[in-house]
C-alpha cells in the first residue's frame, strides 16, 4: 500500500504550516517577555530615582506565561500552545491579505488579562479578571489585536503590521495605559445589598464578596 500523494501533501503541508505558526508566535511571546521585563526594570529605576513608593514586579510562570504587577493591578500574558483559524464570517477572512493566501489566516494567540493584585494576594478565588486583548500571529509574523480601547483601536492592520521590538513595546505600553485607566468601580447597590448568615460565617471576603472592575456593569460599554 502506498500513501496517496494528495493526502501526504495535505498532512505534511498543514503540519509544517502549523509548526511555523507556532514558532512565530513563540518568538513573539519571548519578545513580549523580554520587552516587558526591561520596561518594568525601567519603572523600578524611575521609582528609586524619584523616591516613589509604587511596586513594580515581573514574574515568570513558565514557557507560556508571565505576569506583571504594578500598583494594584496585574497583567497576565499567556500564549496558547495550539494554532487556530478564523471562522468564515470573521472580518480577517474578508481582507485581500488573507484572500490572496489563505494560509495567512492560521494564527497563534497571545492573551492579555487584567486582574486586581489583591485578588491573588488574598486568595479571593471568586474575583473576576478581564481579557483586555488577544494578539494573533501568523506564519509571516504579521499580527493584529482584538481588544479594548488603546489595544483594539490601534493594532488592526493585519496586512501591514509585523512583530518587531518596537511594535511589541508599543503594545505593552498600551496595555499598561489601558489597565491604569481601567478603574475599579463600586458595584450597583442592589447587586450587593443582601448577604446570608451562612455566607457571612464562611468568610465574607473570600467566599461571598466577588470583586471585579466592572462588577454589575456591561464591560462591552468600555470600548465605546
- Along the 224 residues of the chain, how does pLDDT read in single tens digits? 888 989 989 999 999 999 999 999 999 999 999 999 999 999 999 999 999 989 999 999 999 999 999 989 999 999 999 999 999 998 889 999 999 999 999 999 999 999 988 888 888 777 888 898 999 999 999 999 988 665 655 556 899 999 999 999 999 999 999 899 877 666 666 765 666 666 666 655 454 556 665 554 444 444 44
Domain residue spans of the chain: 14-184
What totals of helices (H) and strands (E) does the chain contain, helices first? 7, 7
- Closest by alpha carbon to 205, among 149, 122, 145? 122
If phi over 0 gives left and psi between -120 and 50 gives alpha, with beta otherwise, what is residue 194?
A: beta
Task: Give the pLDDT of residue 220.
Answer: 43
Handedness of CA 122, 73, 115, 108 (dihedral sign): negative
Task: Give the pLDDT of residue 182.
Answer: 77
Amino acid at each position: 500500500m502506498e500513501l496517496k500523494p494528495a493526502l501526504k501533501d495535505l498532512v505534511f503541508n498543514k503540519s509544517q504550516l502549523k509548526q511555523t505558526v507556532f514558532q512565530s508566535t513563540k518568538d513573539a511571546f519571548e519578545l513580549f517577555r523580554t520587552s516587558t521585563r526591561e520596561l518594568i526594570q525601567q519603572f523600578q529605576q524611575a521609582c528609586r530615582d524619584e523616591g516613589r513608593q509604587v511596586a513594580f514586579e515581573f514574574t515568570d510562570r513558565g514557557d507560556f506565561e508571565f505576569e506583571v504587577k504594578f500598583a494594584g493591578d496585574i497583567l497576565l500574558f499567556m500564549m496558547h500552545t495550539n494554532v487556530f483559524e478564523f471562522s468564515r464570517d470573521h472580518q480577517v477572512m474578508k481582507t485581500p491579505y488573507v484572500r490572496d493566501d489563505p494560509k495567512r489566516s492560521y494564527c497563534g494567540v497571545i492573551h492579555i488579562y487584567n486582574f486586581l493584585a489583591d485578588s491573588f494576594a488574598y486568595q479571593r478565588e471568586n474575583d473576576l479578571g478581564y481579557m483586555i486583548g488577544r494578539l494573533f500571529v501568523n506564519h509571516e509574523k504579521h499580527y493584529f489585536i482584538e481588544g479594548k480601547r488603546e489595544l483594539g483601536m490601534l493594532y488592526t492592520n493585519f496586512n501591514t503590521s509585523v512583530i518587531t521590538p518596537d511594535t511589541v513595546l508599543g503594545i505593552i505600553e498600551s496595555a499598561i495605559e489601558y489597565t491604569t485607566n481601567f478603574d475599579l468601580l463600586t458595584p450597583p447597590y442592589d447587586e450587593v445589598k443582601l448577604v446570608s448568615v451562612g455566607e457571612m460565617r464562611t468568610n465574607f471576603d473570600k467566599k461571598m464578596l466577588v470583586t471585579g472592575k466592572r462588577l454589575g456593569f456591561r464591560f462591552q460599554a468600555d470600548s465605546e
